Structure 1
Amino acid sequence: MDSESDADYQLRHRTQWSDLLLESRLPPFEHPRKEWLADYVSVEMASTQDDHVPVAIFDKAPVSVHRHTGPDASDAVSVTGDLTPTMLPHIVRKRVLDYVRKVLDALRVRWCVTHTEVKLLPDAVDLIEVNGRVGGHLPRLLAVLGGPNLLTIAMNLALA
């Protein structure tokens, strides 16, 4: 939501639940290499008992937002594209991977594949979400590129 009037609209049109959770929006930032890329990335990580090994980092095309067209007057938000390998400069890539490893350590993640999205900021990154699963259509993208099979990795890790 972008404004108080948008919150009012949601409260008037939502029928499935009565309360809304409002989050502050992280400030916008440009992708360090390409202005047409989104200011967040996803990291696919394979975690063992002792380590978190990056499998891929995906740059993102900006999301598409269609106001009030989703279920119950919600906004419909769609991912419009993923690119790999990442175009992040080495120092930013290292910052992203170090941060994701710290997040996974804090959550005590072991023996699984995770899909983590982080927001790029001028001198830092911030967490958007962590999922203990393979990220959507990303295994297909890696397969087309001849990359690692995330589903096989996930199954092998599940067997420890």
Structure 2
Amino acid sequence: MSETAAMQAAESEDPTEDQFISYRVTWKEPGADTSRTTRCLIDAAHLSRPGDVEQRNELLRKMIAIRHLPRGLAEADRIVLLDVLPICNCMTYPNGPCQFAEYGGTRFRLLPSTPANFEALHDRHDDQIMGRVHNTLSVEFLTMVREKYSHQ
């Protein structure tokens, strides 16, 4: 690629374009018996460490506190996260068809592989193998890949 073409490609990308990551979050207040579930969007630009779960959870707690707690009590410390699940980001928010809906919204799947006792992680998007792993580690590997890549 020529230097001019590379500069034009870099200029055509809009760095201010936001990428939102959607989560289904189950939470409760400390000491409460009941939990609530809500949908939260995080602007990826607010994540200085994209793979850091603690930073993501802190942003989610702040957002939930602001949206669901009374004014004056809206503090992130008053939110206990019980479950955080990424929601398919191949959909247009809030309602759009998921290209993986027929598979329960999951892009990645495990299939038996050779050699024996190994499983292969397949990407339904292009039907390529993401990796092979021993079956004792396959669920953790699948969970890690789904959390990192979701439907991007």
TM-score bracket, shorter-length normalisation: under 0.3
Larger Rg: 2
TM-score (norm 2): 0.25
| TM-score, scaled relative to structure 1 | 0.24
**Which of the pair has the greater relative contact order for Cα pairs under 8 Å at 6+ separation?**
1
